[in-house]
Structures are given as structure tokens and as C-alpha cells.
């Protein structure tokens, strides 16, 4: 166990006092709080509302979980690299618009070639994500501007573009096979979007644990100067983190379009908040350098479960925002207080 | 930026090229404001009319109050992302209180009291969570923003609150004193008070020290908890003041009043030169930043630029000013 922990802990958070860590410490470090939250939420929901366990409802939870997990992993990548991405929701919106627009135009030129058109729209959406990621990274890494301000401004720009070209009206004309195959499709009894999200999750876990890029992201996030001094290509690492985040956000927009059946410039409004919530509840530090994909996944599942629970017991959607805000603050307060107790 | 780095050493005479350049850079925001006015004036002469200047001054005073409020916490390396929705909640709650008290002019004070009280509670909660428990300001106020937004739209049912006292709009929006409109008086008053607070009080200096170096602040014997709690409470209460003035202007309590205000207030402060890394800038910078953004949006409105394009411009302006301010700070 102890050797496993040693390989798990990124070089940046290895603390000298680790050998004295109690059982509680170890539990907390390995996402214990998130797991507790998740179990409590699942059990409480199942007891209060047995419909929660219906196959249909669980499939629904899994779909929502998947569509929250992918952008949350994007947020995690940027945050562990010491950054921040408020433009996640805007990238989702604009890539949804691009996906639908490319399909609409493409089906006019190449009628009957639906799969090719779907792939083309995916490439276009991802292209937008890469472009946004490069711009964010260029401003943050090369010009060393505040990631918060840069991505806030980027959000304003992207939402403006998406709304200007659509005037807020959904773009219809999405390929039917896209909706039935990807949006509603299932494989091995589970939604396609869940499979996609799980593949992304596994890739993130492998990258964080076993690749140089993963180690570099942690190093850059925990201490930029020491990372540079120890030979890490900091600019390139930060750029890759933002570009990967852009790609994942664009993928989310692509998948959401298949769920909604149209390209919508208004989706993604609360995603910046939700992904930050999933990331920080999952233990990602806002100061960078700390955070694990599997814990973020648990946090995203937790948020998806409580959102579903509130729908089942018919809580007004306005109160759902209130609960999300409260959960975010309470989770962090518990985390802080436990940390303080451990240090005392 | 393209000039060689030796320019600083050459700036001996009072009128050397480098000295002029420094002066121009120091006055970059007033210059930008004038240039923007002239450019829009070339396209649409109404921009340069006296009536429009009056409009700009009134519009800018609301944004300036919010930007100055935001500055008080940005100076400490903090943030208040709940500012916009606090404005919404105060607008709705104060309006409902006034209507409940009969909607006569006597109920105005009651509404003001309720509004300020609610804001004080929000600010106090923000401050205690941030300074007392030690949660990151960004996440705290983001979570708070959601709770406050939900409250604002719930208690109002999502609809505007109408039936406000006539005196509210007549006095606080259309009224004027010494032929200067009331909102401008309030912005000026807030500026004067905050300017003095920052320059001449222990609290004001503590804000700068905490922002510049939190550890040094503790080492210097500053009790950060009460200072930060006061800063966040002050920020929220000033937001409430702006909310009440805006409510007087619209003549109804609006649950959507503050939607974009958080972004605009932060943008105004940052464009003005308040540093997000804390400890640098002041309320004067926020005031100028607010004026610049108002001049820009006023001009874009008058030459009829699409609202969504305006949103794009705002984003681009923020990034450009970040780059310019950073280069000036480096010199």
C-alpha cells in the first residue's frame, strides 16, 4: 500500500511527513471525501425515491454524468497546470453551433454520405477547440496574463460569436443517424456517450500516472519556476494542457448536439461553474499541481446524482442552482477544516 | 516596447522623448477615452453632443460604483463573482419591501434598509468563508453567486416587481442637485470616501499590504480576518447602493438586473489598471476604467453595432488592456 501511494503521489505533493500518515489521512488523500459524498447521495436518493434505481433513470444519470465528466476533465487539465478555464461552456456552445452548421451545409453538398458528414463536423468542432486552446495558451503562457481574465474575456468573445451568427436560434438539420446513433445510441447496454467519456477518463488517468506529459503538467502547475529550471518545456506543457481542454470541450459540444438534435448557442451557460465544482470537489487545487482524473470523475458522478435526485423529487430548477452553489461551498469548507485539523 | 532598453537612462531632461512617452503612458486611459469619443463622433455626430455627455456621465456612475466596490476586494487578491447577482437580489428584495409597506414615499427608507442589510449579510458570509475558513475567493463567491441568483429569481418568481414609490425614481434617478444628476453625486461621494479610506486609514493600507504579500501582512501584525471581512462586506454594501440607484432608474425591481455586471465591473477595474494579483491600483483607476467602457458601449449603441458584436468587442478590449497594462507595469 505504501509503495503504491509513493508511485501515485505526484512529485510535487510528496510531503516529508507522509510516513506518519494515519488511516484517516490516507483515506482523505485518496478521495475519501468524494467517495463518502457519492455513497451518501446514492443511498439517500434511492431511499427517498426508489424510481432512482429504474434502468431508464440510471441510463439518464449515466448520460448526464458523461456529458459533465468530459468538460470537467478539461477543467482539471488546465487547473492542474496552474491555470483556469472559464471559457469551457462557451467552447461547448460554439462547437455545438459549428457541428450543426457543418452538417447542415455538408448534407447539401454530399447527400446520403451521413457518416462522412458527421466525421467532417467532428473535425470542424475539434478544430475550433484547438484554436481556442491555442489562443488561451498563447495569452496565458507567452504573454503571462491572468488565466482568469483571459478565459473570461474569451468566454465573452466566443459567446458573442456564437450568438451573432445564430442570433440565438437553434440550427436544425442535424443528420438523423447522428441523433439515433450517437445521441441515443447504446453499446453493451450503456449509452455511447458514456463509453466516449470513459475512454477519455482512462486516457487522462494513464497520461497523469505514466507519461512525461502528465508529470510535466503537475510540475508546471505546482511551481512554474522550478519546473523551468529542471528543464521542463513550460510553455509547451501549458499550451498542450489548454489545447487538450479545448478539444475535450469541443467534443462535449459535439456530443451534446447529438443529444439535443440541434446546434444551440445557448447551451453551456452553467458549465463553467459545474466543471469547476466537479474539479474542486474532486480535490483539484486552485493553486495548481494537485488533482486526479479518477477523483474528478467521482465528483462529476456525485453532481450528476444529486441533480437527478432533485429532478425526481421535483425540486424547482432555480433551487437546483442554489443547492449546487451550497454544495460547492460546503464541500470545500469540510475539506479546509479537515486539512486544518490534520495540520494542527 | 520596440524601443531599446536604454531609453530609461537617457531620460534626464524634462522634455526628453522618454519622459514624454512616460507621460503619454500614464495618461493612456484619458487619451483612449478622448480618441474613442472622437472616432465615434466622426461616424455619428450625436456622440459629441452635450446631452450625450450627460448620458455617458450618468451611465458611467453606476458602473463606476460597481467597479470601485470590486476594486476593494481585488486589492486583497480577492474577487467578488457574486456582485452582479447581489445587485439583482437587492433590487428585487428592496422593491418587494417597498411594495409591502404600501408603496408610498415613506417606504423608500425601509426598502433601502432591507437592501443594504441583505447585501451586508452576503458580504459578511463571503468574508467569513474566505478569511475565516480559508476557501478560495473565486470558488466561494462563485458558489455564493449561484445561491444569490437562485434566491433573486425565486422570491420574485422571475418577474419584475412593479408598483414602486414614485419618489424613488423622481429623487434618485431623475433628480439633481446643483444641476448635477443624483447618480453622479453618489459615484463622486463613493469615490471620495474610498479614496480617503485607501490613502489615510489603517484599514486602507492593510488592504494593499494583504494584497501585495499576505504573509508579510501577518508578520506585520495585521489581523487579516477582520480586514478581509470588512472588505467583502463593504464591496457588497456598495453593490447594494448601486443596485438601489439602478432600481430607481428602471422603476421596478428586476431579477435580471445584475446578470452582466460582475464581468463589467471586473473588466472596468482591470482596464483601469487594478492588478488582479493584488496590492496595486486604486478607485481612481476603476473610475476611469468604468468611464472608458461606458464611452465605448455608448458609442457602439449610437452607431448601432449589434449587441452580440459589442460582447465580442468587450472581450477583445479586456485582453488588449491586460497586455498594455502588463507592459507598462514592467517598465
Interval A207-259: pLDDT, tens: 999 998 989 899 888 888 888 888 888 889 999 999 999 999 999 999 999 88
Q: Where are the alpha helices (DSSP H) in A81-187?
A: 88-109, 114-137, 147-166, 176-178
Average pLDDT of the residues in B52-66: 91
pLDDT at A10 over 50: no
Tell me whether residue B17 is in a domain. no
CB contact under 8 A, B134 and A321: no
pLDDT in tens, A166-210: 888 888 878 777 887 777 878 887 888 999 999 999 999 999 999
Choose between B51 and A249: higher pLDDT.
A249
Indicate the SS3 state at residue A171: strand
Specify the range with the lowest mean pLDDT, choosing from A20-34, A108-122, B149-163: A20-34
pLDDT at B6 over 50: no
CA distance B327 to chain A (A): 10
State residue B14's pLDDT score: 59
Q: Shortest Cα distance from A284 to chain B (angstroms)?
A: 12
Q: Choosing among B312, B327, B329, which should be mutated to test the A contact, i.e. which has the most A CBs within 10 A? A: B312
Cross-chain Cβ contact A276/B149 below 8 Å? no
Q: Is the pLDDT of residue B75 over 60?
A: yes
Neighbouring residues of B106: CB distance < 8 A, sequence distance ≥ 6: none
Tell me: pLDDT of B296 over 60: yes
Task: Report the pLDDT averaged over residues A77-102.
Answer: 92
In the three-class reduction of DSSP (H, G, I as helix; E, B as strand; rest coil), residue A335 is classed as: helix
All cell numbers assigned to B320: 488588449
Nearest to B137 by CA among B191, B91, B80, B90: B80
pLDDT of A73 reads 95
Q: Scanning the structure block, which residue is given the C-alpha cell 496590492? A: B279
pLDDT of residue A68: 94
Say whether pLDDT at A138 is over 70: yes
| Nearest beta carbon to residue A152 from set B145, B158, B263 | B263
Average pLDDT over residues A286-310: 89
Mean pLDDT of all residues in A70-92: 93
Q: Is the pLDDT of residue B23 over 80?
A: no
Burial class of residue B85 (count of CB atoms within 10 Å of its CB; 0-12, 13-18, 19+): buried
Check residues B58 and B167 and name the one with the higher pLDDT: B58
- Restricting to A residues 318-337, those with a Cβ less than 8 Å away from any Cβ of B are 318-322, 324-326, 328-329, 332-333, 336-337
Domain assignment present for B118 = yes
Q: What angle do CA B30, B36, B40 make, to 5 degrees?
A: 150
Q: Is the Cβ of A154 closer than 8 Å to some Cβ of chain B?
A: yes
Q: d(Cα B228, Cα B124) in Å, to the nearest integer?
A: 9
Q: In the predicted model, is pLDDT for residue B122 greater than 80?
A: yes
pLDDT tens string B223-282: 888 999 999 999 999 999 999 999 988 888 888 888 778 888 888 998 888 887 777 888
B151 falls within a domain: yes
Q: What pLDDT is recorded for position A23?
A: 67
Residues A328-344 have a mean pLDDT of 76
For A197-317, list the strands marked E by DSSP: none
Residue B297 lies in a domain: yes
Give the pLDDT confidence score for residue B142 in this predicted structure: 86
From residue B203, how far is each of A187, B196, B221, B225, B231 by CA, in Å?
Answer: 62, 11, 13, 12, 9
Most trustworthy range by pLDDT among A4-13, A36-45, B112-121, B280-289: B112-121
Q: Could you give the number of structural domains in chain B?
A: 1
Domains of chain A as residue ranges with CATH: 30-343 (1.10.3470)
Stretch B79-107: mean pLDDT:
86
The pLDDT value given to residue A97 = 93
Is residue B9 assigned to a domain?
A: no
How many whole angstroms separate alpha carbon A36 and alpha carbon B311?
42
For chain A, what percent of residues have pLDDT higher than 70? Answer: 90
- Can you spell out the DSSP letters for B198-237? HHHSHHHHHHHHHHH-HHHHHHTT--HHHHHHHHHHHHHH
Q: Does A91 touch chain B (CB under 8 A)?
A: no
User: In the predicted model, what is the mean pLDDT of chain A?
Assistant: 84
Span A20-33, average pLDDT: 66
Choose among A154, A273, A318: nearest Cβ to B154. Answer: A318
A144 close contact with B: CB closer than 8 A: yes
CATH number at residue B61: 1.10.3470
Nearest to B136 among A153, A273, A286 (CB): A286
For residue B32, tell me if it sits in a domain.
no
Confidence tier at A27 by pLDDT (50, 70, 90): low
What average pLDDT does the segment A297-317 reach?
A: 88
Least confident of A162-166, B114-118, B168-172, B229-233: B168-172
Range of weakest confidence among A28-32, A111-115, A320-324, B260-264: A28-32
Containing structural domain, residue B259: 45-330
pLDDT for residue B240? 94
Give the number of beta-carbon pairs within 8 Å between A and B: 125
| B233/B223 Cα distance (integer angstroms) | 16
Higher pLDDT, A302 or B102: A302
pLDDT of residue A28: 64
A160/B135 touch (CB, cutoff 8 Å), yes or no: no
Q: Of chain A residues 251-310, which have a CB less than 8 A from chain B?
A: 273, 276-277, 280, 286
Amino acid at each position: 500500500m505504501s509503495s503504491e501511494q509513493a508511485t501515485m503521489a505526484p512529485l510535487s505533493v510528496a510531503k516529508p511527513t507522509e510516513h506518519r500518515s494515519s488511516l484517516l489521512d490516507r483515506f482523505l488523500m485518496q478521495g475519501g471525501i468524494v467517495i463518502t459524498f457519492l455513497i451518501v447521495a446514492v443511498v439517500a436518493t434511492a431511499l427517498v425515491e426508489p424510481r432512482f434505481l429504474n434502468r431508464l433513470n440510471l441510463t439518464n444519470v449515466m448520460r448526464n454524468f458523461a456529458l459533465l465528466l468530459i468538460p470537467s476533465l478539461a477543467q482539471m487539465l488546465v487547473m492542474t497546470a496552474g491555470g483556469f478555464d472559464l471559457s469551457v461552456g462557451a467552447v461547448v456552445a460554439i462547437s455545438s453551433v459549428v457541428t450543426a452548421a457543418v452538417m447542415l451545409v455538408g448534407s447539401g453538398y454530399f447527400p446520403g454520405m451521413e457518416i462522412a458528414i458527421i466525421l467532417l463536423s467532428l473535425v470542424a468542432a475539434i478544430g475550433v477547440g484547438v484554436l481556442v486552446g491555442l489562443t488561451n495558451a498563447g495569452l496565458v503562457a507567452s504573454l503571462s496574463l491572468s488565466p482568469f481574465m483571459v478565459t473570461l474575456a474569451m468566454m465573452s468573445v466566443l459567446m458573442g460569436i456564437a450568438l451573432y451568427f445564430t442570433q440565438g436560434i437553434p440550427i436544425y438539420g442535424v443528420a438523423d443517424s447522428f441523433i439515433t446513433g450517437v445521441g441515443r445510441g447504446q453499446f453493451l447496454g450503456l449509452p455511447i456517450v458514456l463509453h466516449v467519456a470513459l475512454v477519455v477518463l482512462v486516457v487522462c488517468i494513464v497520461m497523469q500516472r505514466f507519461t512525461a506529459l502528465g508529470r510535466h503538467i503537475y510540475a508546471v502547475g505546482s511551481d512554474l519556476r522550478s519546473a523551468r529550471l529542471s528543464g521542463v518545456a513550460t510553455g509547451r506543457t501549458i499550451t498542450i494542457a489548454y489545447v487538450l481542454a479545448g478539444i475535450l470541450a469541443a467534443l462535449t459540444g459535439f456530443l451534446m448536439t447529438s443529444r439535443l438534435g440541434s446546434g444551440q448557442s445557448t447551451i453551456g451557460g452553467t458549465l463553467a461553474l459545474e466543471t469547476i465544482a466537479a474539479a474542486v470537489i474532486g480535490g483539484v487545487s486552485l493553486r495548481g499541481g494537485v488533482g486526479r482524473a479518477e477523483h474528478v470523475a467521482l465528483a462529476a458522478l456525485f453532481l450528476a446524482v444529486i441533480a437527478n435526485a432533485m429532478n425526481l423529487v421535483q425540486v424547482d430548477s432555480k433551487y437546483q442552482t442554489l443547492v449546487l452553489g451550497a454544495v460547492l461551498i460546503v464541500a470545500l469548507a469540510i475539506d479546509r477544516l479537515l486539512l486544518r485539523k490534520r495540520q494542527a | 516596447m520596440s524601443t531599446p532598453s536604454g531609453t530609461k537612462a537617457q531620460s534626464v531632461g524634462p522634455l526628453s522623448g522618454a519622459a514624454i512617452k512616460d507621460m503619454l503612458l500614464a495618461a493612456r486611459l484619458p487619451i483612449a477615452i478622448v480618441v474613442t469619443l472622437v472616432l465615434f463622433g466622426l461616424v455619428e455626430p450625436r456622440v459629441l453632443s452635450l446631452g450625450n455627455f450627460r448620458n455617458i456621465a450618468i451611465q458611467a456612475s453606476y458602473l463606476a460604483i460597481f467597479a470601485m466596490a470590486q476594486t476593494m476586494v481585488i486589492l486583497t487578491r480577492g474577487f467578488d463573482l457574486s456582485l452582479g447577482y447581489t445587485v439583482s437580489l437587492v433590487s428585487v428584495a428592496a422593491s418587494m419591501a417597498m411594495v409591502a409597506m404600501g408603496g408610498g414615499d415613506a417606504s423608500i427608507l425601509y426598502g433601502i434598509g432591507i437592501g443594504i442589510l441583505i447585501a451586508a449579510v452576503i458580504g459578511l458570509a463571503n468574508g467569513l468563508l474566505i478569511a475565516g475558513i480559508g476557501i478560495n475567493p473565486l470558488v466561494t463567491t462563485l458558489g455564493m453567486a449561484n445561491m444569490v441568483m437562485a434566491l433573486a429569481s425565486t422570491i420574485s418568481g422571475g418577474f419584475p416587481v412593479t408598483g414602486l414609490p414614485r419618489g424613488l425614481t423622481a429623487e434618485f434617478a431623475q433628480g439633481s442637485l446643483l444641476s448635477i444628476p443624483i447618480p453622479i453625486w453618489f459615484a463622486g461621494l463613493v469615490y471620495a470616501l474610498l479614496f480617503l479610506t485607501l490613502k489615510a486609514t489603517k484599514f486602507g493600507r492593510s488592504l494593499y499590504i494583504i494584497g501585495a504579500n499576505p504573509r508579510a501582512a501577518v508578520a506585520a501584525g495585521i489581523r487579516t480576518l477582520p480586514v478581509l471581512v470588512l472588505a467583502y462586506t463593504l464591496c457588497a454594501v456598495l453593490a447594494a447602493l448601486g443596485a438601489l440607484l439602478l432600481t430607481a432608474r428602471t422603476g421596478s425591481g428586476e431579477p435580471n438586473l445584475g446578470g452582466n455586471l460582475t464581468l463589467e465591473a471586473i473588466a472596468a477595474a482591470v482596464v483601469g489598471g487594478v492588478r488582479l494579483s493584488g496590492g496595486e491600483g486604486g478607485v481612481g483607476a476603476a473610475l476611469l476604467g468604468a468611464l472608458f467602457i461606458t464611452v465605448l458601449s455608448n458609442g457602439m449603441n449610437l452607431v448601432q453595432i449589434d449587441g452580440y458584436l459589442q460582447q465580442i468587442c468587450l472581450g477583445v478590449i479586456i485582453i488588449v488592456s491586460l497586455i498594455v497594462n502588463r507592459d507598462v507595469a514592467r517598465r
